[in-house]
Chain A
Amino acid sequence: MKTPSQTVGPFYSIGLTRRSENELVPAGDPAAIVLRGTLFDGDGAPIVDGMIEVWQPVERLWGRCGTHPAGEFTFVVSKPAAPAGEAPHLDVYVFARGLLKHQRTRVYFPDEADANAADPVLAGLDEADRALLVAERDDGALRFDIHMQGLHETVFFST
């Protein structure tokens, strides 16, 4: 039996985000892409005490960013290599007060339409849900908003 999860609570930042770790690649890297978004609750209000972790497993790059003070997170990433048989994507974990276990999702890239169309995970979802997992172009950056509940509830995967 494994050790159960418990919430990160409202004070995680003293332990987990006291150092800046949101650049998976240096901001000056020619391949750098800014990935930003907002974490929303079921009322559509920003969650200002959440934390996002992003993982680029092929390149073994990892980062985290708190959503304080306005519910927003920003990462510097590069487009990862595609794992065998899948479209390029980032693994994303969401932590927050009120989340007794973190939630896992994925973010795909908007300029990979062909690869996305052939991706086995996206293929298992209906069209609306597929669209929710593809980042939007946003003024030279990519935007990926995360909705814990509601009409646009993000697709979360079991771990």
Chain B
Amino acid sequence: MSDIVLPDDPSFGPEVQVDYPGYRSTRLRAPKRPLVTLPEELHSPDGPVFGEDALEEHDGDLTAQHDGEPLGERIVVSGRVVDEDGRPIPGTLVEVWQANAGGRYRHEVDQHPAPLDPNFSGAGRVLTDAEGRYRFVTIKPGSYPWGNHENAWRPAHIHFSVFGRAFTQRVVTQMYFPGDPLFEFDPIFHSVRDPKARALLVSQFDLATTTPEWALAYRWDIVLGRGGSGTTPVEEPSS
């Protein structure tokens, strides 16, 4: 395994290394040419605005989307979406998707021989509130094998997509669970070379947001770049 994951390299900075060789699929997909910097005087465009009409019933509760309850450990995942100055981002769309408790996605390409759960689709959407807070109820996803290298397994994770105020704040990322023994073997996790930046991908167990006798809880804040003027008022969305 040690030939798969390169050593930490904080000098690379907090950004993900897009051509990280340990993650094989980058080879034909990561751009080869340097990115072009847009002229500074151009204003970064404001991001899209979403309203309640972007949501459907039970979009925030992945355990309530079917007639029965999914198998697995019920958890609450919550946190805040803020910018690098700590300002909350209200009214932004947060989307999640994940494997079921057995480590299987409800997706035709996923051939992992773990059972599908008829009571779990594994996708949700919420809007952040006035303080930038979001909250999902779900089950803890399982780890699963993938074909990147011999005996490769992904640490358990939930995929997150967030928009923010400005188009340049857009981020799609993955939330991990604390203490996962698979971290040291995972090239996707290690494609973030700076250990301090990588730590921002890991949620914290949070007793305060558990629901007694019902669900454990993890807290994870999402920090977006400064991008844009940041002065965009929250607008009433038009349908």
Q: Which residues of A contact B27 (CB under 8 A)?
A: 42, 98
In the complex, how many angstroms separate the beta carbon of B83 from the nearest chain A beta carbon?
8
Q: Which residues of B in the span 36-50 have a Cβ within 8 Å of any Cβ on A?
A: 36-39, 41-43, 45-49
> A101 and B15 in contact (CB under 8 A), knowing A3-B200, A15-B97, A121-B38?
yes
Q: Which residues of A contact B28 (CB under 8 A)?
A: 41-43, 45, 98, 148-149
Whether A2 contacts B95 by the Cβ 8 Å rule is no
What 1/0 mask marks residues of chain B from 77 to 121 whose CB sits below 8 Å from any chain A CB? 000000010000000000111010000011101100000000001
* Chain-A contact segment, one of B66-74, B126-134, B165-173, B206-214: B165-173
Residue A28 at the chain B interface, CB threshold 8 Å: no
Residue B14 at the chain A interface, CB threshold 8 Å: yes
Residue A47 at the chain B interface, CB threshold 8 Å: yes
Interface residues of A (CB under 8 A from B): 1-16, 18, 41-43, 45, 47, 49, 53, 55, 57, 60-62, 83, 85-86, 91, 93, 95-104, 120-121, 124-125, 148-149, 153-159
Q: Which residues of B contact A97 (CB under 8 A)?
A: 25, 29
Q: Which residues of B contact A11 (CB under 8 A)?
A: 97, 99, 105, 107, 109-110
> A14 and B105 in contact (CB under 8 A), knowing A6-B201, A121-B38?
yes
Jot down 6 A-B pairs with beta carbons below 8 A, ordered by A. Answer: A13-B107, A96-B29, A100-B18, A102-B170, A124-B36, A148-B28
Q: Complex Cα distance A103/B19, Å?
A: 13
Residue B23 at the chain A interface, CB threshold 8 Å: yes
Q: Which residues of A contact B96 (CB under 8 A)?
A: 15
Whether B23 contacts A125 by the Cβ 8 Å rule is no
In the complex, how many angstroms separate the beta carbon of A9 from the nearest chain B beta carbon?
7
Q: Which residues of A contact B15 (CB under 8 A)?
A: 4-5, 101
In the complex, how many angstroms separate the beta carbon of A159 from the nearest chain B beta carbon?
5
In the complex, how many angstroms separate the beta carbon of B147 from the nearest chain A beta carbon?
10
Q: Complex Cα distance A97/B189, Å?
A: 14
Q: Which residues of A contact B43 (CB under 8 A)?
A: 83
Q: Which residues of B contact A98 (CB under 8 A)?
A: 23, 25-30
Q: Which residues of B contact A96 (CB under 8 A)?
A: 29
What 1/0 mask marks residues of chain B from 206 to 239 whose CB sits below 8 Å from any chain A CB? 0000000000000001111101000000000000
The count of residues in chain B whose C-beta lies closer than 8 Å to any C-beta of chain A is 67
Q: Which residues of A contact B174 (CB under 8 A)?
A: 6-7
Q: Complex Cα distance A143/B65, Å?
A: 38
Whether A100 contacts B23 by the Cβ 8 Å rule is yes
Q: Complex Cα distance A103/B170, Å?
A: 11
Whether B36 contacts A15 by the Cβ 8 Å rule is no
In-complex Cβ contact of B31 among A83, A124, A149 (8 A): A149
Whether B167 contacts A91 by the Cβ 8 Å rule is yes
In the complex, how many angstroms separate the beta carbon of B77 from the nearest chain A beta carbon?
14
Q: Complex Cα distance A63/B107, Å?
A: 22
Residue B149 at the chain A interface, CB threshold 8 Å: no
- In order of increasing CB-CB distance, the 4 nearest A-B pairs are A15-B97, A98-B25, A57-B45, A98-B29
* Chain-A contact segment, one of B1-9, B177-185, B191-199: B191-199
Residue of chain A at shortest CB distance from B19: A100
Whether A2 contacts B224 by the Cβ 8 Å rule is yes
* With A93-B170, A125-B36 already in contact, 11 other A-B pairs whose C-beta atoms are closer than 8 Å: A2-B200, A4-B16, A7-B25, A10-B110, A12-B97, A14-B107, A14-B122, A41-B28, A57-B45, A100-B18, A157-B38
In-complex Cβ contact of B48 among A16, A55, A85 (8 A): A55
Q: Complex Cα distance A58/B198, Å?
A: 35
Whether B16 contacts A148 by the Cβ 8 Å rule is no
